[in-house]
Every structure is written in structure tokens, then in C-alpha cells.
Amino acid sequence: MKPGVSWLVRLHGGRAARVARAFAQLFDPKTAEGRAVLADLARYCRVGRSSFVPGDPHQTAFNEGARDVFLHIAELAGLDPSDFAHLFQEVTLD
């Protein structure tokens, strides 16, 4: 079982599948809206960049926390790391 799914089961018990479906629906990379939000989150959460800040362990920890949140969302949306590069392409909403 993936870590994100294990987390949902521990937190939500029998509602875990419903919560996982909600993540998949809200952050659906097949929709322009889903891709736009995921792309924004990926940039904000420093995906594809180092989270390390020399001499500042607090900022490094903060950056890693943001990155971890994105990875949780991405996992529950059905993405894997090979999909992340596509998120950095320009996404326009009509």
C-alpha cells in the first residue's frame, strides 16, 4: 500500500476510499484545471529544485514540508515522479 493511502486509512478508516477519490477528482491531471493547480503547487512546493538552504536548517525543513505536501497530493491524484516534468509546461485555462 502506498504511503499516502496508508495515511488515509489510518486517518479516515472506512472513508479513506472516498477521500482518495476526492483527491483524484479535484487534482485530475487530465483536466486543464487540475493541471494548472498541480503546476502551481509544484512550483510553490519547490518540486524539481533542492529544498536545502545552506546555513538555514529551519527554511530547509519548511521547504521539505511543502515538498512533502505536494508529493502526497500527487500520489493521491495518481501521478508519479515521471509526470512532474509535464507540470512545468505552460498551462492555460479557457
Q: Over the stretch 59-68, which tens digit does the pLDDT of each residue have?
A: 999 999 999 9
pLDDT for 91 equals 54
Dump the DSSP string for 38-89.
Answer: HHHHHHHTTTTS----TT-HHHHHHHHHHHHHHHHHHHHTT--GGGHHHHTS
Q: Residues 49-62: what's their mean pLDDT? A: 96
Q: How far is the C-alpha of 72 from the C-alpha of 39, rounded, in Å?
A: 14
What cell does 66 get? 511543502
Predicted TM-score (pTM) of the model is 0.82
What cell does 8 get? 488515509
